[in-house]
Structure 1
Amino acid sequence: MLTLAIDSSTNAGSVALISEDGLIGEELLNLTNTHSQRLMPQLVSLLENSSYEPQDLEGIGVGLGPGSFTGIRIGLTTAKTMAQALQIPMIGVSTLEAIAYNLKYTSAYLCPMIDGRRDRVFTALYKGKGEENLEAESQESLIAIDDLLKELADIDEVIYFIGEVATKYKDKIIKEIKQPKFVSSSFNLPKASIIGELSLKKLLEGKEDNLFALTPNYLKRSQAEIQWEKKHNN
């Protein structure tokens, strides 16, 4: 089942093609230029280099966030447009889960983190099972880094802190957490190949998300929404 995967929820925008036979191709750019400038060229390049046409696609997976409001919207809108035009099923995947899934074979705790600004992080806690399945130990949330570390301070087992922002808070994490572990930079990024792997698994089980009901997972309101509410409630 040829599946296209898209993730543009952080700076590390990527697209991938995957099937039951494995990963076919992936293009990842960890840059600051906007996804509106690079997402479609990435898609066109991936399909052309893989010798596929859009009409060959049988499913689409997309990262839902949390992360960049604009980036999430661009990725989800692109995925929805293609799914509707091609009349193929789509699956939405948590970006935090996708980051944690980079270490899917561990049996340790996994704490993926995405920068939420102002010393806050988007995060959740997972427990590895030594196989391809992860178990969610907490709900996704936006939390101050100090509050997160207080919640995790009593855990006596190894906790992997994953995500680019983990490097920013590394000294603080080492000071507060009993058995912290960190990973190399390539494992800190959300990847479309992981989004594709998680999506394909569900698609092969006959599952799909409602195209029109699928919404971005912001975990917080955008500044524009807050300002609009203030303006109209005064």
Structure 2
Amino acid sequence: MQQEGYHLEQRVQEVQQEIQALEAAVEDVKEANELLRHSHRSPKMKGLADEQLQLKTELEQALQMLHERQRLEQSLLNDVTGLESSLQNLQSENSTVMECLKLLEEQVDIACKEAEEQNLKYKRAKAQLCRLAKEIKNSHGDELEKINKEMELAEFGETASDALYKLKTLASEFPDYGKIIEDGIVQAGITVPYAASSVRSGRSSVASMSSRPSSRSLMPRRALSSSGSARSSRSGSVLNLEFNSEGS
């Protein structure tokens, strides 16, 4: 765009030079016309009249060319003005874009630093959690395994109770097959529950199993109860720590 403006300025200068030359030619024609006007008494009157007519024609052509050159000059000046305005707008937009780009780069740098810090914190926390879970597992491994087995057994019991309750429901909904279902359950020596089991009942049964006195314990009932609750709380935290460390 700057190069195009430079070419336009050169073109304007050339047009101005041509206009000056045409103006000089007009002045020459005017002088010749004056001389012709004062030469009526010359013996070459006829030749001067022809020359006057020719000069008048040339003058009209020169004036017409002058007007065209002036229009061209004005058009070129308008183009130069428009290009200069466009150049200023582009420079302003470029400055704004550069400022925005600088701000974005600063924000990206800040975000990268924060991400690195969070990553380091995450790695440290993960290492501490794994180390703590390993220590707890080493010191309470048997107790943790016992709690896990009791949980699995309770969940299996819940599933079996739900299945038996559904069989009882089917027997009541389809009387034709109810007798067959009930006879099969009675022959297996299974007691049908009155309602479907829940997760809460299963968890409470696990808690009761965990707090049940063992044959090797000779402690008083109050001491045994407090010891069992403390052991249950500690085992629950062990489970949470182990699951979290494995998930991470």
Same fold (TM over 0.5): no
Q: TM class by shorter-chain length?
A: under 0.3
Q: TM-score, normalised by structure 1?
A: 0.20
RCO higher in structure (CA 8 A, sep ≥6): 1
Per residue, is there more helix in 1 or in 2? Answer: 2
Q: TM-score, normalised by structure 2?
A: 0.19
- Structure possessing the higher radius of gyration over alpha carbons: 2
Per residue, is there more strand in 1 or in 2? Answer: 1
